[in-house]
Amino acid sequence: MSTDTRAIVDELHRAYREGDGERVAALVHDDIDWCIYGPARIFPFEGPRRGKAQVMEVLAAIGGQFELTRYEPEVVIVEGDRAAAMVKTSFVQRSTGRILSLRLVNMLRVADGRVIEFKEFSDTFDVVEQAMGSWLEVPAIAV
């Protein structure tokens, strides 16, 4: 079972890196529970989603704003039907040409040979600053 999980996660990473939407779709469970954690008022593709159709819309929205230029899994941990991956990524912001470099961490679960749970984390404060091309102004936080 671990082997299957790893094969599915590896294939998902390859398909996504190669921009192969059909292969990605084939690996997404119809009933997937999905969330990219982050500010949806800034990146509308962030936040919770349910089901393959919503997830494919999210991936299309990301691809509309950002061109993926690097997707390098550094660590992939598999146990049973679950996996975690830490991935070095770079994207070009299409509207500005800015290059965003960030680490993603994905927590996944597979069922029926597909990904049925996907939760993605990144340092979103840093990602927003990279996308703006400037520092966020933060009032002093009482400490």
Residues near a copy of itself (CB under 8 A) are 2, 37-39, 41-42, 65, 75, 77-79, 82-84, 86, 93, 95-96, 103, 105, 107, 119, 121-128, 131-132, 134, 136-139, 141-143
Other CB atoms within 10 Å distance of the CB of residue 139? 5
Closest separation in Å from C-beta 21 to a copy of itself = 20
By three-state DSSP, how is residue 38 classified?
coil
Nearest C-alpha neighbor of 96 from the set 131, 45, 139, 135: 131
Q: Which is nearer to a copy of itself, 3 or 22 (CB)?
A: 3
Q: Which is nearer to a copy of itself, 25 or 86 (CB)?
A: 86
Closest separation in Å from C-beta 95 to a copy of itself = 4
Q: Which is nearer to a copy of itself, 22 or 136 (CB)?
A: 136
Distance CA 64, CA 33 (A): 23
Distance CA 112, CA 62 (A): 26
Q: Which is nearer to a copy of itself, 71 or 121 (CB)?
A: 121
Nearest C-alpha neighbor of 84 from the set 115, 114, 105, 55: 105
